[in-house]
Amino acid sequence: MSKLQFRPRVAFTAASAINQFVPVTLLGAASSIDDNVIRAGSVNQFPIGFTIATVPSAGNPVSVLLGGIAKAIAAASLGNGAQVAVGSTNGRLIPLLASGLSTAIGSALGAAGLRFSVGFALEDAADGAEFKVLLNPIQIV
């Protein structure tokens, strides 16, 4: 019996060059281009999924993994089971605090703006290391 994985992939158009293994988000509501995605650059942007391959320039098709298990790059040390979010403009991930605010932001409860998680780490990772993440994009704050 084969092992099946739920791995929905959707083709979008890259609005700029995008690296492999990074979270992406749709262009803002003001954009007239519906199918374009950009690299998610902060915990304030809702990530729809992860890129599977590097896209060299704008206008090229990009395959985005919307569910299942993706590869990601850590921007800080994190442990197996940690809820993770976009922690830098290069699309690397950081762990979240129990309050839902990223460790980069700290625990200041007055921090303005929405916060989003991309999912859960499935293994330990050091800063700069590749790790597996179970995709579960949700709004935290």
Residue tagged 């092992």 (tokens): 3
Task: Give yes or no: residues 57 and 114 share one domain.
Answer: no
Tell me which of 65, 85, 112 is where a domain ends. 65
Give the phi and the psi of residue 121 in degrees, each rounded to 5.
Answer: -70, 135
Separation of alpha carbons 100 and 15, rounded Å: 29
Is the Cβ–Cβ distance between 81 and 24 less than 8 Å?
Answer: no
Residue 24 lies in a domain: yes
Give residue 39's domain range. Answer: 9-65
Task: Give yes or no: residues 76 and 57 share one domain.
Answer: no
> Is the full-model pTM beyond 0.85?
no
Q: Which amino acid is at 26?
A: L
3-state helix, strand, coil in the chain (%, to 5): 0, 40, 60
Please determine, for residue 97, whether its predicted confidence score (pLDDT) is greater than 80: no
Task: Give yes or no: residues 31 and 54 share one domain.
Answer: yes
Kindly provide the residue ranges of all beta strands, DSSP E only, lying in 66-129, ordered along the sequence.
69-73, 83-86, 93-95, 116-121
pLDDT value of residue 109: 43
Task: Give yes or no: residues 57 and 78 share one domain.
Answer: no
What average pLDDT does range 9-18 have in this prediction?
91
Task: Give yes or no: residues 128 and 84 share one domain.
Answer: yes
Please determine, for residue 111, whether its predicted confidence score (pLDDT) is greater than 90: no
What average pLDDT does range 70-93 have in this prediction?
93
pLDDT value of residue 92: 94
Name the average pLDDT for the chain: 84
Task: Give yes or no: residues 73 and 134 share one domain.
Answer: yes
